[in-house]
Amino acid sequence: MLLRYLSAAVLSTAGCAASRISFLDLETSHRDHVTRSALPDLRVLEDALEALRVMQADYFQPWLGMWPTSIDWTAAMMGSHVSGALESISQGLELIRLEQDEEDYRVKENLVTLYFSQLVGYYFGQDAFAIRNEAFDDMLWVVLGWLDTTQFIELHTALHYRSAPQGVSPGPAQELPTLLRNQTWHGNIWIPAFAHRARIFWELAARGWDAKLCGGGMTWNPRLEPYKNAITNELFISASIAMYLHFPGDANTSPYGSPSAGGVADSENITTSEWRAHDPRFLHAATRAYAWLRNSGMTNNDGLYVDGFHISGYNNQSDNNTKCDVRNEMVYTYNQGVVLSGLLGLFKVTGNASYLKDGHRLIQDVISATGYDLRHDRPIDDLPNLEPGQLPPWRGIGRAGVLEEVCDVRGDCSQNGHTFKGIYFHHLTAFCAPLEFVTAPPPPAMGEQRLVQIRKEHARACQAYLGWIKHNAVAALLTRDAYGKFGMWWTAGLLNVTLDALDLDQEGIGPTDANAADYRNYGVPDDALWTPPGTGVTPPKDVFDEEHGQRPLGGRRVRRETALDSDPNNRGRGRTVESQGGGLAVLRALWEISRQGFD
């Protein structure tokens, strides 16, 4: 909290050209002489590639084009993780060597093609028809996933191939040498397909915007009582600004012949026709949604996003309330993450530094609420002197300086919960990317001097988070089993928690707020707040039914029977593709952000 107030006082206001920009109220120059070698630590990249290898070799099924133990939305997120990892591979190709000084392009291209071909397979394995009937957030993971893949294709092409405006589309006959020389990277042929799917799902999700209740905001699930939550709105912000920046346009009208034949049309004049790149409707949607979220009152005393709002008296004829006034105090890690990539995008388009300021403040509040002191770069609790099985107290979104879900300590997180920490680190990595304005549309008019200053300060703040990111990556690595599979509860790795010593009744083990409903892990409560009366919708079914929601564990049974097993990460669902994605994401964050310190 201290940090938060200090930075609020020091931070300059946006748009004031003369003011000094500061995203971090810390002197960080002392870091410059800490363990500076000539190159970033390549072991981090190796660990990340190993996490990816295990994820794809053990959990992905090429004949189905998917990760069969995932559910629709978690699979979309796994696609984002693979695309992110491919970006790291593409940018790190010069560092990936067989042996000293040995360059072998065949091996490297094979590495890229291995994972890229799996993403192409997943395009066909993704159950697009089912997701059309799911909640608005489910649809938006699909949008972000294919835009992540599109961005990887653009990056890989720019770094290693000739970009061809026409891609590899047919043209006049060419001499073979010209044809070979002019060919762009083959991945480009998929961009129209990925763009089409992203556009379709963005349009479907845009129906979730509702101005009648709470003065705006996205509704979570059309089949439940109105509930406006952080995740659906954060996704809409990030997906919309990513559409504005990266969607290349789409002339494919399938599955609608024409807008009048069942296309989407609403008061915002969103129709299925004529979607061009940099359509201002995407930018409008993103800025409006962030303005709403920022004023929605969805952050708690720690500065963290709580989950969302109900509207009291919604089904009471004589109650006219339309305000978001019943707050669900539940905190999840993913709610602190997804908005970050949106904030970076909003800054890139508008040049308004207050978006970056909001992002850095949220990150610093999260770090602090894991029990980590950024000023001294260490956990606030005295970890070495803990009794065996004793845990430091819950600090708001973790303990011992490690990010945690509330359900982690009991080991009974659902598949949703298993995915959350990976989402957090995926979007943190995106936010801390170097501030480059490489994409059209042209960057906002901004004095060169001010841009340099913002870029420098953004990088300085991101570098300051490295100690905390590394602390979390180390914890995650310590949960790996003999097969390289990451566990869900990272703190257990750091503190070497064994089940026989773990006392789940100890004081301070978790938050105790009666107004927090952990519906993402234990299902939607069957009460009037969540369930429409007389509609027959029973939410737990909707969310947890095998047919519609969480799938069983596939081949690997829960290892509950191994009572002698003292590893807390073998409880519940055990190790999953989702927890593997989490391990990959935190390692990639460490690799990408530390690598920037060397540029």
Among 254, 269, 385, 512, binds ligand NAG (CB under 6 A): 269
- Binders of ligand NAG among residues 115 to 134 (CB under 6 A) are none
| Cβ contact 50:583 at 8 Å | no
Residue 113 neighbours by CB distance under 10 Å? 13
- The piece of 127-135, 248-256, 318-326, 361-369 that touches ligand NAG (CB under 6 A) is 318-326
Burial class (CB in 10 A: 0-12, 13-18, 19+), 598: exposed
| Cβ contact 193:177 at 8 Å | no
Please tell me whether residue 271 binds ligand NAG under the rule CB under 6 A: no
- Return all residues near 253 (Cβ < 8 A) that are at least 6 apart: 272, 273
| Cβ contact 551:544 at 8 Å | no
Among 316, 390, 515, 562, binds ligand NAG (CB under 6 A): 316
The four Cα atoms 470, 471, 473, 474 give a dihedral, to 10 degrees, of 110
Please tell me whether residue 14 binds ligand NAG under the rule CB under 6 A: yes
What type of residue sits at position 538? T
And the tokens for 30? 């002392």
Distances in Å between the Cα of 398 and the Cα atoms of 84, 501, 509 are 25, 20, 10
Please tell me whether residue 185 binds ligand NAG under the rule CB under 6 A: no
- The piece of 347-355, 412-420, 546-554, 570-578 that touches ligand NAG (CB under 6 A) is 347-355
Instruction: In angstroms, give the least distance from the CB of 355 to ligand NAG.
Output: 5
Instruction: In angstroms, give the least distance from the CB of 122 to ligand NAG.
Output: 31
Please tell me whether residue 37 binds ligand NAG under the rule CB under 6 A: no
| Cβ contact 351:444 at 8 Å | yes
- The piece of 129-137, 278-286, 317-325, 403-411 that touches ligand NAG (CB under 6 A) is 317-325
And the tokens for 434? 């170097």
Among 152, 355, 468, 486, binds ligand NAG (CB under 6 A): 355
| Cβ contact 427:242 at 8 Å | no
- Binders of ligand NAG among residues 84 to 113 (CB under 6 A) are none
Q: Which residues does residue 326 pair with via DSSP β-bridges, in sequence order?
A: 310
Instruction: In angstroms, give the least distance from the CB of 499 to ligand NAG.
Output: 10
Nearest to 120 by CA among 153, 166, 87: 153
Distance CA 8, CA 303 (A): 12
Please tell me whether residue 498 binds ligand NAG under the rule CB under 6 A: yes
Distance CA 518, CA 545 (A): 17
Please tell me whether residue 320 binds ligand NAG under the rule CB under 6 A: yes
Here's the x/- map for ligand NAG, 197-216, by CB under 6 A: it reads as --------------------
Among 91, 299, 352, 453, binds ligand NAG (CB under 6 A): 352
- The piece of 19-27, 170-178, 451-459, 514-522 that touches ligand NAG (CB under 6 A) is 170-178
Please tell me whether residue 182 binds ligand NAG under the rule CB under 6 A: yes
Give the footprint of ligand NAG on this chain (CB under 6 A).
Answer: 14-15, 171, 174, 178, 182, 267, 269, 294, 313, 316, 318-320, 352, 354-355, 358, 496, 498
